[in-house]
Amino acid sequence: MAKVKVTIQNQKYKTIFQTERHTFLADEPEDLGGQNTGPTPMELLAASLAGCSSITIKMYADRKQWPLEEAEVHVEVDHNSEPGVTKFIKQITLKGDLTDEQKKRLLNIAEKCPVNKALKQKIIME
């Protein structure tokens, strides 16, 4: 189970995230009243999906000893265009001397990362 503690104090919208081993920030841009000292929460959500996808691709390629040189994942989150719907747009670029079959398999593997799976399942907020 992943656990995160978030604290917000006197600096407008700057939040401090603490996990068991790491501390990092989030904020809002200046035009929304923040100080732009870190990514926005929505950027962190997009980064979680992109990071998990790229790590999953790399782990699989390493296990298979495939010549993956780089996996680049871009994620855009659209949560304003349709009421009640959040759309994740994910683009993956793979570099290396990979066959078409290997590339196809790695793209399928990216869909199996834990964050991707969590976002596709029923979500319960308590």
* 38: number of Cβ within 10 Å: 19
Q: How far is Cα 108 from Cα 72, in angstroms, rounded to an integer?
A: 15
- 35-57 pLDDT, tens digit each: 999 999 999 999 999 999 999 99
Running along the chain, 126 residues long, what does each successive block of 10 average in pLDDT? 93 95 96 96 96 98 98 95 92 98 98 96 92
Half-sphere exposure in the Cβ direction for 42 (13 Å, CA): 10
> Please, which residues have CB within 8 angstroms of residue 73's CB and are 6 or more apart in sequence?
50, 51, 53, 54, 57, 90, 91, 92, 93, 110
Please give the model's pTM, rounded to 2 decimal places. 0.92
